[in-house]
Amino acid sequence: MDLKLYSDKMQADPIDHLQQALQTLTGMKPEEFELSRQYWRMKTFTKGDYYNQYRHVCKQLGFIFSGVFRAYYVDEENQEKNVFFFSKHQVVVSFQSFIQQAPCNYYTQAMTDAEIAYISYDHLHELYGKSHQWEKLGRVLAELAFSISMNRTESFLFKTPEQRYLELVQQHPDIFNSIPLYHISSYLGIQGPSLSRIRKRLAR
């Protein structure tokens, strides 16, 4: 979900950026957003820090102002396999863990230095009880979680590696300048040489 958090015409306060983003996303009125202002917190991450650990319950929903995160698991051969990327203007959350408040099946880690605004699960659910517009945001998040999971599954069933690569470029246009290519190979489910061939072919 691309929230378009930044605009040259917006105020400097990052929470004001977030307010305008949610207004664009759900039509949330400023007075409805004000119900949440006291709950938002800013947090910075250093490259390698974890947003959420394996088998931990995800307690926070974050909106990324800068940086890149990855979700990954460790397979039976002790190899890390990237499942999702989260980058600037997007939500960072372990969707199923957050929605169900159940232990997560993967790690979520900062791949670069990053800055986010986050709200806790408890505070978000408190807002659901106060406002239909916040309830709408909850539905949007649930639909987003389903859509991302299905798209990820179907991309391996129905799309070629090149199509998955182009989709990644569209969803995360700045990611190639931020992280090593072997992480992208892992996400696409291909080996490094195959990724190099795809990039060279598209460059031509």
Q: Which of 31, 32, 6 is closest to 21 using CA atoms?
A: 6
Separation between Cα atoms, residue 140 and residue 176, nearest integer Å: 28
Q: How far is CA 177 from CA 83, 110, 157, in A?
A: 19, 15, 28
Tokens of 98: 């957050």
Distances (CA, A) of 93 to 1, 118, 138, 171, 182: 12, 10, 13, 16, 23
At residue 109, the 3 state secondary structure works out as strand
Alpha-carbon distance values, 57 to 99, 105, 195 (Å) = 10, 10, 34
DSSP H stretches of helix in the chain? 14-26, 30-34, 95-100, 121-128, 132-158, 161-171, 181-188, 192-203
Q: What is the pLDDT, as a whole number, of residue 173?
A: 87
> What's residue 10's pLDDT?
43
Q: What confidence score (pLDDT) does residue 70 get?
A: 97
The H or E element containing residue 175 is none
Local mean pLDDT, 10-residue blocks, the chain (204 residues): 47 83 88 96 97 97 96 95 93 92 96 97 95 91 88 93 94 89 95 92 84
